[in-house]
Each structure stands twice: as C-alpha cells, then as structure tokens.
Structure 1
Amino acid sequence: MPRRPQKGTTVAFQVLLNASADPGGQRSQPPPAAPAEGGDEPAEQTERIGPRFLIPPVHALLAPERTPPIPESDADQALSQAGPDDTAPRLRALGTLDMQNADALEPRLIELAAHLLLKPDSGADRLCEDLGDGAPWSPKTLGSRLRELRTRLGTDVDGNPYVPPAQGQGLPYMLSEQVRCDWWEFERLATLGLTRGEDGLPYLERALALVDGIPSASTPPDG
C-alpha cells in the first residue's frame, strides 16, 4: 500500500512551484503608471500576464512499499502436490469442472459440489434457484441430490462425512473443510509469489500450472 506523502515534502514542492512562478521570492508588482499627459488620471496599466490559478499541493512521488513476504507453512509446500495419503475430494475449477478422489460423479453432482464450495453459506432456496435447469429444483430434488453426493464422496479418515447434514432447518449447506479446491490453491500460491518479488517466480509457475483450460467450463450433459 503506498505510503502517505510526508507533509514536509509536499510543502517543499509547493514552495518550489511558487518560486518558479516568481523567482524573486515575492510576486512582482507592475511599476506605478505615469500620470497621463495633460491630466491627473494615470495611464491605463498593462495587464500582468501570469498564472490565473494556484497549483494545488501534489503528492510526493514515492515508491510504494513492498508487502512483506507471507510466511510459508507446511501446508503451503504441499499445495498442488498431492501425496499418496491425500484422499480428500478435490474440486478442479480451473478448467472443466471435475471432482478428484471421488467416484465418477454426474455433472449435476459436480455442479452441486462446486456451488457448495465456491458459494458458501447458500441456503436451500439459493441452491434450488441456481442449479435448476430452466426451472428451480424442488426441495425434494435438492434433498435427494445432497444425499447422493454425501454417499458418493464418503467420509474422511475420522469417519466424518464430506457432505455433513445441515445443522438445522433454514441453515446453509456446506462441505467439509477437508475438501480441497484448485482455485483456493491458485490464490494462495499467487499471494505467496507476488509478495516475494523475483524469488516468488516458482510459486507463480506452480499457480499457472494448475490452470487446465477455461475456468469453470461446463461439464458435458448427463448421458
């Protein structure tokens, strides 16, 4: 974030501008007009040509401070590099929508999972409206597909479902925090890279390597 200009610098710059407009240090005054010949009225004064407005104070040209590098955690080092023990579902949004580490899901279930991840805190009405094809889903259809998605994604190592039931009537639906998404990984890698200058190029390269087509491209229709 750019620093605020120092007051002294701005004032000094304004003084310099004023001095350039009047090198003598004071605004020069036209000499008194001589009396007109044959009368007491002074001759018409020549209009002084000069600035007709004052230049307002300007910000000093200061280089913005670089944001301090964000510390890298162990989880950051593993971004985009899934290990053999990483069995949590992972949504791919930077290309054709797909869900990794899960049984082959129908496009409607992938879109439901993507909505739950990328538009958190969505209630039943919002889900039915956004995911309906031409007409909103009915609450019965939504409930059926949430149960199907819960079954297909399964549970984590502690036995907790990746699609937990809603905590109460009217509360939003969401996925487990264990479910990953390449878009979040992209954002994190880009942030790590952009705060490190030239040293951040490896992070930016890893972020770009996640892109595999047009982000959130439509999945093919159900067969």
Structure 2
Amino acid sequence: MSAELFPALLTASTDPAGLRLLPTAGVPAEAEEDPGIETTTAPTPAAPETDGGENSGEEGTAQEVEESEAHDPHAPEIRILGPVEVTGVDSTGHGPRIAQLAALPYFRPGRSADVLCAHMDPVSPRSVSTLNARLQGLRRSLGSDPAGNPYVPRRRSRDDPYRLSPSVRCDWTRFLQLAERALPLGPAGLPDLERALALVRGRPFGGRPLPWAEPYQQEMITRIIDVTHTVATYRTPAGPHHDPSAARQAVATGLDVDDAAELLYLDWMRIEAVAGNRQGLHTAVTRVQQVNRALDCSLELATEQLVNDLLNGSSAALRIQDPQLRCQ
C-alpha cells in the first residue's frame, strides 16, 4: 500500500520542473451458548489497561509472545497493523465482523457478553445469540491447538467472560517485541526495527476503527512513527548504515499510517538532500505543504526553516536529533 500512496517517495522520479511549491500559509446469526470447555487464561493485551507502567506491560507481552510462538508456531494470528485480518477468517460475508470480534477479546479479555455486544456496535448492540453465533464461526475458523484445545475456548457457564487461547498471536505484540528489543541498541537494532515496520500494512485497525479500538490505534500510530523516524535517522547519514532506499521505505510506511506526520516529512526532506536528489526534495516539500493546506493549517516554524535551509543548500539542516532521545 505504501508504494501505491507514496510512489514519489520510493522512486524519487518526479520532475522538479513541473513542481510548483505552495505558499506556506494554510488555506482556508443466531445460536445457543455451548458450555463445556474449561476457560483458559487470555493473552496479555498489547496495550494493557493497568497502572503498572507502560514498559513493564509491554515487556511481559513480548516475552509471552516469544514463548507462545515457540510452543505453537502455527497458532492463528490476529493482524491489526492495517485492516483487521485473522488467520482462517474470510474477508467476505460476515468475515470482517468476525475478525473485528476476534481482536476485541484479545485486547480486552474477560468481558461479558453485554460488554462485547456494545463494543461491537455501540449504536445498535447485537443480541447475545448473534454474538454466540459469531464466536462459533470464529471457533470453527481458528480450529484447535496441537493438544485439541480450541483457540476460542468454550465457557463453563453463561456468566463466564469471553477469552481467547493464550497461544493466539498478534502482529502488534510482535511489533512491540521487535521494537523494544531493538531501540536500546542504536544502529545495531536496525534489522529488528525494519522487521517491525515490515509488519505494518496500513493504518492500524483500518480506516474506521470501532470506538473501543481508537485509543489503541493512536498508541500504535505513535509507536510506528517513532520507529519510522529512528530507522530514517540511522539510514540517512553517510556511513556504514547509509541506505537511502531503506530510509525512503521506512518513511513511506510511516506516512501510510499517518500522512499528516510532519516529523516524517522532515525525515523525507533530509533523505533527499543527503542523496543530492533535488527533485525528490521538491516532491517532499510540495507534499507536506499540500497536506497542511488540506488540513487548513500552517507548517511548523521548524519545518519552514528546514525547507528554506535545504532548498538553499545549508549543511546545518542535515543534522538530526538522536532518535533514542525521542523514542525512550
């Protein structure tokens, strides 16, 4: 998707003679419950709702993911770093709704039927019988682990909360595992950071997340932008890690997630300036100005200064803040 939305960023092929820089000022299913299987402990959600500190929860999640994958590497996966997808669930018919339902107990385990129904459709909550029908469809799609236990455990009674097997995987927990391991390593962590970005297929949860997912989406966007900026920062300067193509790919991935992230346009400008690619620099400048015009706002003063410095060939504009200062 990145290549489709930002081809100029990846190819840097736009003719600068045809570009006109914009002014910097902004312009204005029914089923019965089927108890019988013992409830299983749920996986730790990627953005845990605890007061114990952000890092501690994520480190625990990363460890659990690594251990779970080691024991059941073929377990189904919930992919939310883009439109929601789930292993074995169709993308047609009731499939998208079932995929959304799978993500809900993964991130918010232990909820009751009424809460799940309200989360899945706040305006017109589904009935419990419809919820159970969707869960049965999900159970059939995901199947069972090697020991024969369903990845969507049946409940003992109607009062038991809904959970998923702890073996069920998620691309977000994998992203966190890679990023948290790599960020303290400086440039040596680049391979894992780039593997993390390779998991991103677009805006987390898609373009229109359900209300319950919106706080998670914002957290994910922030983390993805931080990782993108870090990769671009290490890949842009001359030296052993210099790789303009990898830097452009990272920025394209980040802009695919948030095309208004001004920090990433600064990275893009520096990439093209360091590469001596005047046409690519003009493309980046024009694009960020178009975005700000569409949002009816002006560029940040720092962005305006960087644009002026880069277009005038100032080498001081190529100095980039240590990304670890931003990503800590």
Shared fold, TM over 0.5: yes
Per the alignment, residue 161 of structure 1 pairs with 150
The amino acid of 1:104's aligned partner reads D
> Using the alignment, how far apart are the partners of 1:138 and 1:122 within structure 2?
15
Per the alignment, residue 141 of structure 2 pairs with 152
SS at 1:108 equivalent = helix
Q: For 1:127-142, what aligned pairs fall within 5 Å after superposition?
A: 127-132=116-121, 134-142=123-131
Report if aligned partners of 2:80, 2:172 keep a CA contact under 8 Å in 1.
yes
Report if aligned partners of 1:95, 1:216 keep a CA contact under 8 Å in 2.
yes
Aligned-residue sequence identity (percent) comes to: 43
> Using the alignment, how far apart are the partners of 1:144 and 1:97 within structure 2?
20
How far residue 197 of structure 1 moved from its aligned partner, in angstroms, is 2.3
Per the alignment, residue 198 of structure 1 pairs with 187
> Using the alignment, how far apart are the partners of 2:181 and 2:189 within structure 1?
7
Per the alignment, residue 61 of structure 1 pairs with none
Report if aligned partners of 2:89, 2:138 keep a CA contact under 8 Å in 1.
no
Report if aligned partners of 1:88, 1:156 keep a CA contact under 8 Å in 2.
yes
Per the alignment, residue 171 of structure 1 pairs with 160
The Cα offsets for residues 63-83 of structure 1, whole Å up to 9 and x where unpaired, read as xxxxxxx8x98x75998xx9x
Count residues with an aligned counterpart: 143
> Using the alignment, how far apart are the partners of 2:135 and 2:182 within structure 1?
37
Report if aligned partners of 1:97, 1:218 keep a CA contact under 8 Å in 2.
no
Per the alignment, residue 98 of structure 2 pairs with 109
SS at 1:195 equivalent = helix
Gaps of 5+ in 1: 1-69
> Using the alignment, how far apart are the partners of 1:209 and 1:128 within structure 2?
33
Q: For 1:50-89, what aligned pairs fall within 5 Å after superposition?
A: 76=66, 86-89=73-76
Report if aligned partners of 1:94, 1:210 keep a CA contact under 8 Å in 2.
yes
Rg (Cα) greater in structure: 1
The amino acid of 2:105's aligned partner reads L
Q: 1:155 to 1:209 in 2, by over 3 A?
A: same
SS at 2:191 equivalent = helix
Q: Which has the higher helix share?
A: 2
Report if aligned partners of 1:94, 1:183 keep a CA contact under 8 Å in 2.
yes
Q: How much is the aligned-residue C-alpha RMSD, in angstroms?
A: 2.8
Report if aligned partners of 2:105, 2:162 keep a CA contact under 8 Å in 1.
yes
The amino acid of 1:122's aligned partner reads R
Length-normalised TM-score, structure 2? 0.40
The amino acid of 1:117's aligned partner reads Y
Q: 1:77 to 1:127 in 2, by over 3 A?
A: closer
Per the alignment, residue 81 of structure 2 pairs with 94
How far residue 144 of structure 1 moved from its aligned partner, in angstroms, is 1.5
> Using the alignment, how far apart are the partners of 1:188 and 1:119 within structure 2?
19
> Using the alignment, how far apart are the partners of 2:129 and 2:113 within structure 1?
10
> Using the alignment, how far apart are the partners of 1:77 and 1:128 within structure 2?
32
